[in-house]
Structure 1
Amino acid sequence: MCEKNDAVVTAGGYAAVIIAYHRQDLLDAVLERLRVQTSRPEMIVVVDNGGDVDESFLAGSDIASVLVRRADNPGYATAVNIAAERARGAGLANLLVLTHDAVFEPTLAASLLDAMAVDAQAGCVAPTLRWVSRPDRIFSSGGVLTRGGRAYHRTDDVVGARAVHWVDGAVALYRVQALEHIDGVDERYFLYFEDVDTGWSLARAGWRTLVIPEVARQEPGAHPLRLGVRNMILFARKARLPLLPAVYSVTMRVAEELVVGLRREKRLRVIAAIRGIFDGLAGRRGKP
């Protein structure tokens, strides 16, 4: 059941977190894009999940910056939660989450903040995502979550602010208060399904997730079949999805992934699928 929020923090200042992993060149590019935003962050948090970030950017930045080294790579959710705690401690109302390969315009933050300010129940606002290699093609204009737990990207144009079930986590602005209401991004998944779970959790707590026409770009990567299947099952159990739709959804995902693997790699990844199913049923979570 959804619960109505008692108090809402209006959109205001924001912290930005960059989730870095072994690519200093990509990180440097994102840092530069943040410096030229028409609405600049009051704090930048770099979570180094690879353990090799050059910390010289700390001295060279005119924006308050923090480097958090997590060479054990605990994953996306942990990085977001670390940064949300820093933003909360600094009294900032919003957190802009960026993966280190995100490409975006100087207007990104201002557009997201404007949309957040207009809708008091918006807990998350994200841009329309296009491919880096194919900028004319939409990768995600928000996500759909089916009754059985399948998660799909929409790929149509966005007009105005669109309410969706979830958004891709590569570029997203979160209201810190909304993250507090759901106890942060769930860290059980690692690499796949955190963003889906977050949208679902926000909705249950009474918050809306929006996509706007502002464009950012990223090159989406493939998810390991074992983790994808495991995390679907973990989510289905957490959300207490109806058994038959959940079983059907997992079965269809496995079948589709096996066909794709056979076409691209000329092999059936049956063992990975079986391990994912057993891991999910056993409740194994986090980094594999």
Structure 2
Amino acid sequence: MSEINDAALSAARYAAVIIAYHRQDLVSAVIERLRAQTRQPEMIVVVDNGGDIDEAALAGVGVAPVLIRRGDNPGYAVAVNVAAERARDAGIENLLVLTHDAVFGPTLAASLLDALGADEGAGCVAPTLRWVSRPERIFSSGGVVTRGGRAYHRTDEIRHARAVHWVDGAVLLLRLRALDAIGGMDERYFLYFEDVDTGWSLARAGWRTLVVPETAQQEPGAHPLRLGLRNMVLFARKARLPRIPVVFAVARRAAEELIVGVRRDRRLPVLDAGRGIADGLRDRRGKP
């Protein structure tokens, strides 16, 4: 009986990583939310991709954060992989990934851990995401990837955990055994497609990705057109998606983004679109 209890306790342990880019105030707020969790993290890692977080300002009651400075801003995936290595070294089985602008309540970790514990085949679980500015509106209740590699957010209400193709990277809990099975998070994208690729890679390795009714909030930002199209092409090539659906999916996204560019900035960003597609075809990876 004690062995079963020990195993359950071990599975419920988690480390949290905050991926920071400047904004000391937001990082401090996320740390306080972690310290208010009904299930406390064993470790908090702050990966400082901007190189200007004040370590002394992060101190307080509870778990002292581990600060890792990466002022060269190597990207989201690198931050996750670095934190995962720290967690593994400490014998921790789960990693809660948070961007520095994530907003969540005190039951977040418990809800995600419970969902992961209830499904041994789940490698990743995330909450339903709502907008910070419009909390009544759902931003993402999981994502879908089309045959052509276009990624979409679902925005419907859910009452129970459900399997999805991918979940948004703002807030998610990873089972480190599952992350290990895919060789860590793919660092080729730098921004805006790591979460899609992770869901796809987990599925290929036999792991499910879940979204649950527990909610968190984030204010999503605009994606740079060049980087978004580059990453979409990189993913399509990695996944060996059928060429014709990919061409149509990339062309449609480019056209939609061009229309948005004209309406928002009164300019037609054709060069950005062309360069993004070319970068993907030339296999240009990582930080632009």
TM-score, normalised relative to structure 1: 0.95
For 1:3, the equivalent position in structure 2 comes to none
Distance in structure 1 (CA, Å) of the matches to 2:62 and 2:140 = 33
For 2:144, the equivalent position in structure 1 comes to 144
CA contact (8 A) 1:19 1:46 kept: yes
Distance in structure 2 (CA, Å) of the matches to 1:79 and 1:13 = 20
CA 1:75–1:103 in structure 2 vs 1: closer, same or farther (change >3 Å)?
same
- The structural deviation recorded for 1:12 is 1.9
Corresponding pairs, count: 280
CA contact (8 A) 2:10 2:92 kept: no
CA 1:57–1:92 in structure 2 vs 1: closer, same or farther (change >3 Å)?
farther
Could you report, residue by residue, the CA deviation over 1:45-91 in whole angstroms, capped at 9, with x for unpaired residues? 00000001010155434214210000000000000000111111111
Q: Secondary structure at the match of 1:31?
A: helix
CA contact (8 A) 1:19 1:49 kept: yes
For 1:129, the equivalent position in structure 2 comes to 129
Distance in structure 1 (CA, Å) of the matches to 2:276 and 2:11 = 40
CA contact (8 A) 1:15 1:96 kept: yes
Could you report, residue by residue, the CA deviation over 1:101-139 in whole angstroms, capped at 9, with x for unpaired residues? 000000000000000000001100000000000000000
For 1:216, the equivalent position in structure 2 comes to 216
For 1:230, the equivalent position in structure 2 comes to 230
Distance in structure 2 (CA, Å) of the matches to 1:35 and 1:251 = 46
1:276 aligns with 2:250: no
For 1:39, the equivalent position in structure 2 comes to 39
Distance in structure 1 (CA, Å) of the matches to 2:80 and 2:198 = 11
Q: Secondary structure at the match of 2:11?
A: coil
Unmatched 5+ residue regions in structure 2?
1-8
CA 1:102–1:191 in structure 2 vs 1: closer, same or farther (change >3 Å)?
same
For 1:55, the equivalent position in structure 2 comes to 55
Distance in structure 2 (CA, Å) of the matches to 1:259 and 1:287 = 26
For 2:239, the equivalent position in structure 1 comes to 239
For 2:251, the equivalent position in structure 1 comes to 251
Letter aligned with residue 253 of structure 1: R
CA contact (8 A) 1:58 1:66 kept: no
Unmatched 5+ residue regions in structure 1?
1-8
Trace 1:131-210 onto structure 2 (pairs within 5 A): 131-210=131-210
